[in-house]
Amino acid sequence: MSLDIAAIRASAVRIAPYVKRTPVLTSDALDDACGGRLFFKCENLQAAGAFKARGAGNAVFSLTDAEAAHGVVTHSSGNHAAAVARAAGLRGVPAFIVMPHNAPQSKVRNVERYGGRITYCEPSLTVREQTCARLAAETGAALVHPFDDYRVMAGAGTATLELLEEVPDLDLVLCPVGGGGLLCGTAVAAKGAKPGVRVVGVEPEQASDVAQSFRAGRRISIAATPTIADGLRTNCTGEKNFPLIREHVDDVVTVSEDAIVAAMRALWENLKVVVEPSGAVPFAGVREGRVDARGKKIGVILTGGNVDLDSLLWMKK
């Protein structure tokens, strides 16, 4: 199994009853500021508050009845966890969720809301994967990996299919990158639906494993470092993801923590939407000049809106 435009189109049909077709918003003020035209695909308004509903839904509903009989298991800092718990609930099977103990409380509450059975662990990808493997062995649950899974990538790519149906003449599509699942789905969907469109991944400077790997031409693992973009805190891109990134992605750039906060605030002020730090990362690439927007039509995927409103980051400035 691999990933192609046919798989993404098939997943769009599969998940249609379970996800929203999210709006595409624009802002004259943001266009004037960057010198291009920006089209924001608002996955912050998606079911469970993030694009992850697409990939998780496709993975869970791709399972046979025998495969799903003992439920599903995954590890995630939040959005994928909630999306898997939601999809499992819709399928009528249990969801065993491994979360780092420092996961944002807004995201923990979202998982609990959908009935996910949480097991906490140390905030390390290695520990998360080990805990997840143990739970899978104990329960017989099927693994739904947060990014290194072709079914998850295919579901994620449906957001870009919708975006290009609404704005077919885009020059460039931007999305955040952590493990690489969304970036793979975005790139394969974009190149399959509109050959010639460029795809760029945007990553926090403090979690730049994909950018470093992209430049080196090999997977690079980095030490975990803090970033406000908690959904992008990976230290190495997936084995299945990296070949697809090398084949289909045009560039991967990084942004500062301050730029992420500024992007969140600008989106709130101009689009009147709340976007979490990870979701604001691609727009931060435009605001910080890491992506040249001048004269271009750019699709920007705002991936999630699960923000702790008691601690809005720009209120600390």
Q: Give the catalytic positions in this structure.
A: 52, 77
- Whole-number Å distance between alpha carbons of 211 and 177: 9
Half-sphere exposure of 105 (CA within 13 A, CB side): 4
- Whole-number Å distance between alpha carbons of 176 and 191: 17
- Whole-number Å distance between alpha carbons of 272 and 247: 36
Nearest Cα residue to 9 out of 188, 248, 247: 188
Nearest Cα residue to 203 out of 195, 194, 212, 192: 212
CA dihedral for 274, 78, 116, 181, sign (positive or negative):
positive
Number of H helices, E strands in the chain: 13, 10
Nearest Cα residue to 123 out of 20, 217, 24, 230: 230
The answer to whether 250 and 198 are in contact (CB under 8 A) is yes
- Whole-number Å distance between alpha carbons of 231 and 240: 19
- Whole-number Å distance between alpha carbons of 291 and 294: 9
Residue 270 DSSP code: H
The answer to whether 39 and 23 are in contact (CB under 8 A) is no
The answer to whether 46 and 19 are in contact (CB under 8 A) is yes
Q: Which two tokens stand for residue 300?
A: 């920007």
Strand duo 95-100 + 172-176: pairing: unpaired
